[in-house]
Structure formats: C-alpha cells, structure tokens
C-alpha cells in the first residue's frame, strides 16, 4: 500500500450466523516464490491461482525490473519467462516492495550472488522492519550492502562478483531468512548448508526440488539442515497455487465465534508447517472438519467445514509458533471468546512484523474489554466466553493488514461494534476480504474518519 493512501476506517457489528462458501485467495508465500523461481528458471513457467494482491504484484514488477518477462493472462493466470540463475539484469530504478517483507527479503537473496546492484525500498511500515537479519548472512556469500542503522530500508545490495558457498546457522526461526539464503546459494559454486533450530515453512525447499535443484534436508535436533548445490540450471515448472490458510483464518475464526455459523472453505493449503492455527482451534474445541484431502503441486490441500463452537482457553506450545506466526492476531480474537485463559508463548517474531504485532494485539484486546498480560515473547488472554466480549472500541491498526482483519472479525460477535482506523492496507494480502465476509453475512459498515 502506498504510504500516502487515504485511510479507510470500517466498523463491524454483531452478526447472525455466517453461512456459505468462502473462496479465499491463493497462498501469498507460494505466489511470491512462483514468480521468483520462474524468473530464475530457463524457459517459461505457467502459474495458476496466483494471489493478485499488492504484495505479490510488487514482486512481479521487481521480476520485470531484473529482466524476466512476466505476463498476466487472466485472473490468477500468469506466465514468467526467466533469465536463468545468475542471469538477472541490473534494475534501472529503485525497487518498491510496498508492504512486503517476504518479497523484498527473498529477492535480496535471489540477486545476492549475481554481479549486479539493486536498491530496495517500501512503504512506511516496511522501512522500519529489520533487514540486517537477511543482509548480514548474505555477505558471507560475498555480497555487500549499505543501509540505514540496523539495516533499515532504503537498502542498496551489490551482489557478489565471485560468490562462495556457505555453512550458515540461521539464528531466528524465520522462513524468509532461510529462503533468502537458499536462493543466494543457487549461484554459489559448491554445496551450501543452511541450518535452523526450528522447523519453519518449507515452500522454498519443495519448489526448488520441483524446479530441478539439487537439494536435500537432514534433521537437526529440533530443526533441520538444508543442503543445496549451486550453479544449477532451474527448469520451468507449472505451479498451481493453493488457497492461503492465513487468509482462511479470518473466516474460520469468525465462523467459530458467531453463533449459528456454518461455512465451507475449499482447497486450502494444508502443509503441516502452516496448520498450527487449525490444530490450536481444534484443541480449543472448535468444530473444524477437513474433507476431500488431496495433493496439488506437491502440497496437501483440503476443504474446511467450520461451525460455531464453544471454545475453551488453552496453553499454545511455543514450538508451534513458526507454523502459525501470521495467525496470532486472529487467534487472540478466538481466545477472547473462549472460556478461561489462553497463553501463547514463543512470539518474539511478532515484534518485527508489519507492526509490533504482539503489542497491537494486546492493545486492541484491552481496548475492547479484555484482560491481557504481555511479556517480550508471550501473551496471556482471559477469555470472556461466547457472549461476554464488550467490544465498542476503535482499534489502531498501525498499517497492519492482519490486525485490521482480526478486529473486524471480533466485532461480528462482540456486544458492541468494533471499528478499525484503516482498512486500505488489507489490499496488500487479501483484497477480496470485505466482499467475501459480507457475502457470508458479516455486518460491515463504513465510518467517518
């Protein structure tokens, strides 16, 4: 979202049962990777189901800037003619990634072992997100960079003229950092080893294998080590993007907390490293059925059937955090309507998302009558039960799309309406959100700013 876009407040009111089919958009993580891998392959990659949200469109524009031919053929249908690993051209202008940490960080990695220079920037939110966690390990390959303090954008990255392979342990549980290093390793001679102490999203590894990379994975304590042989030629691969479980989360929780709800969410990605929220909601007593499980493009997908449920508070194990890191805002809303206390731990990554998401969740819940306690990496919420959440507040979103969507879901079941100060940024990941929720029966109303 352009930082100059006018704010668009919205309010949600208590609704009767949500019903119908929720066709959520394509997975954002896989959409970014499909475009980038297509640009790194030799030949033409065909993509269906691509998420056409601002974050992904900015990645598509960046791939054009590096010399790939990127063509939209229809709704969600795209083709990418790549330049090959190490074959990207130098962009002639600054690359603006808007609100996307995923797109910017992965592209930094993909260009870091080619002898070209690129300048990265984004909106006001992205310009305060830490990039040194990616940039510093990329220098081990031979890349260099200049940036503001702590690696903040705008960032200029100069790729290695003579890249070398690396053996690197990623200090944070971040799929973005791991993926950036794997993409850099593609053009580094020899075999690189990228290790982590936690299991994070593995879409990059799966897609690398599908595009013909020489890649293997070995278990390592609670995490794993990924081995990748560089100087490889990637082959184009058809990619059918499954529906995004992070987007499905909002309709799913709304259906659980709004009495009388019964919805279906078809063809959702069910990669085990993305289903932490589903597991947690079922443990809380949520009625969530998975039907018609199948495989698509190497990823497991299925249809979710969700009905309103009496939820109970639980302790969410910290090792589950990487599999649901984007879903904690909406889990906070589910916890508000549960009976008893919900405790979430291992949340330090939420401090460096589009906003300080942990602080934003706690502040929004408190404003709407909930009792919470917060530490640097945990949040405890005292649930008020299915009919006990007061609501009535206006929530500061801090330009964070997931905070906006989560608290709009809260207002559908709280006693008083809940409003958010801005919804314009929702277009970065889920432009269909408002219409999709209205079609299910959500009562959303515009408010004066």
pLDDT of residue 385: 97
Task: Indicate the pairing of strand 69-74 with strand 44-48.
Answer: unpaired
> Among 154-168, 292-306, 426-440, where is mean pLDDT lowest?
292-306
DSSP structure class, residue 334: H
Beginning with the edge strand found earlier in the chain, give each strand of the sheet holding 117-121 in spatial order.
Answer: 95-96, 117-121, 152-158, 144-148
Q: pTM of the full predicted structure?
A: 0.90
Predicted local confidence at residue 448, as pLDDT: 77
Looking at residues 105-110, what average pLDDT do you find?
Answer: 98
pLDDT exceeds 80 at position 247: yes
Q: How far apart are CA 404 and CA 421, in angstroms?
A: 8
The answer to whether residue 299 scores a pLDDT higher than 90 is: no
Q: Which residues are catalytic?
A: 326
Q: Which fold has domain 28-240?
A: UDP-n-acetylglucosamine1-carboxyvinyl-transferase; Chain (3.65.10)
Q: What percent of the chain has pLDDT over 70?
A: 98
> pLDDT tens, 13-27?
999 999 999 999 999
E strands, 252-331, are 262-269, 287-296, 299-307, 315-316
Class of domain 10-26+242-446: alpha beta
Q: What is the pLDDT of residue 130?
A: 87
User: Percentage of residues in the chain with pLDDT exceeding 90?
Assistant: 91
Strands 299-307 and 262-269: antiparallel
pLDDT digits (tens, 9 = 90+) for 198-234: 999 999 999 999 999 999 999 998 899 999 999 999 9
The secondary structure of the chain in percent helix, strand, coil, rounded to multiples of 5, reads 35, 30, 35
Domain extent listing, the chain: 10-26+242-446, 28-240
25-73 pLDDT, tens digit per residue, is 999 999 999 999 999 999 999 999 999 999 999 999 999 999 999 999 9
pLDDT at 6: 60
**Mean pLDDT for the chain?**
95
With tokens 């960080």, the residue in question is 105
Instruction: Please report, for residues 80, 89, 231, the alpha-carbon distance to residue 84 in angstroms, rounded to integers and kept in the order given.
Output: 11, 11, 10
pLDDT digits (tens, 9 = 90+) for 403-441: 999 999 999 999 999 999 999 999 989 999 999 999 999
- Other Cβ atoms less than 10 A from the Cβ of 161: the count is 11
Per DSSP bridges, beta strands 69-74 and 299-307 are unpaired
Predicted local distance difference test score (pLDDT) of residue 296: 78
What's residue 449's pLDDT? 61
Two domains, one topology: 10-26+242-446 and 28-240: yes
């Amino acid at each position: 979202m352009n930082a100059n876009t006018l704010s668009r407040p919205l309010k949600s009111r208590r609704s009767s049962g949500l019903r119908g089919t929720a066709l959520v958009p394509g997975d954002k993580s896989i959409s970014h990777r499909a475009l980038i891998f297509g640009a790194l392959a030799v030949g033409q990659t065909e993509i269906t189901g691509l998420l056409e949200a601002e974050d992904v469109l900015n990645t598509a524009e960046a791939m054009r800037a590096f010399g790939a031919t990127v063509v939209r053929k229809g709704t969600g249908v795209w083709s990418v003619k790549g330049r090959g690993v190490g074959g990207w051209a130098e962009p002639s202008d600054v690359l603006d990634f808007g609100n996307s940490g995923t797109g910017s960080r992965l592209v930094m990695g993909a260009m870091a072992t080619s002898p070209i220079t690129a300048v990265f920037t984004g909106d006001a939110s992205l310009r305060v997100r830490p990039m040194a966690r990616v940039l510093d390990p990329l220098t081990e390959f031979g890349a260099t960079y200049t940036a503001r303090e702590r690696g903040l954008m705008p960032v200029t990255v100069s790729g290695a003229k003579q890249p070398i392979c690396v053996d690197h342990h990623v200090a944070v549980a971040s799929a973005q950092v791991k993926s950036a290093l794997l993409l850099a390793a593609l053009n580094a001679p020899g075999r690189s080893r990228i290790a982590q102490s936690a299991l994070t999203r593995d879409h990059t590894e799966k897609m690398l294998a599908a595009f013909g990379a020489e890649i293997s994975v070995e278990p390592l304590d609670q995490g794993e080590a990924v081995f990748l042989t560089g100087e490889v030629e990637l082959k184009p691969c058809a990619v059918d993007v499954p529906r995004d479980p992070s987007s499905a989360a909002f309709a799913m929780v709304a259906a659980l907390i709004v009495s009388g709800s019964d919805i279906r969410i078809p063809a959702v990605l069910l990669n085990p490293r993305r289903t932490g929220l589903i597991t947690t909601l079922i443990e809380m007593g949520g009625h969530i059925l998975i039907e018609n499980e199948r495989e698509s493009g190497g990823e497991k997908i299925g249809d979710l059937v969700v009905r309103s449920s009496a939820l109970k508070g639980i302790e969410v194990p910290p090792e589950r955090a990487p599999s649901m890191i984007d879903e904690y805002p909406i889990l906070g809303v589910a916890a508000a309507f549960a009976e008893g206390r919900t405790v979430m731990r291992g949340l330090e990554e939420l401090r460096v998302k589009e906003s300080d998401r942990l602080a934003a969740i706690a502040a929004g819940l408190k404003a709407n009558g909930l009792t919470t306690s917060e530490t640097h990496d945990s949040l405890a919420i005292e649930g008020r039960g299915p009919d006990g959440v007061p609501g009535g507040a206006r929530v500061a979103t801090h330009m964070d799309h997931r905070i906006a969507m989560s608290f709009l879901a809260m207002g559908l079941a709280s006693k008083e309406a809940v409003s958010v100060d801005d919804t314009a940024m929702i277009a970065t990941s889920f432009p269909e959100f408002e219409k999709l929720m209205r079609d299910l029966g959500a009562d959303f109303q515009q408010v004066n700013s």
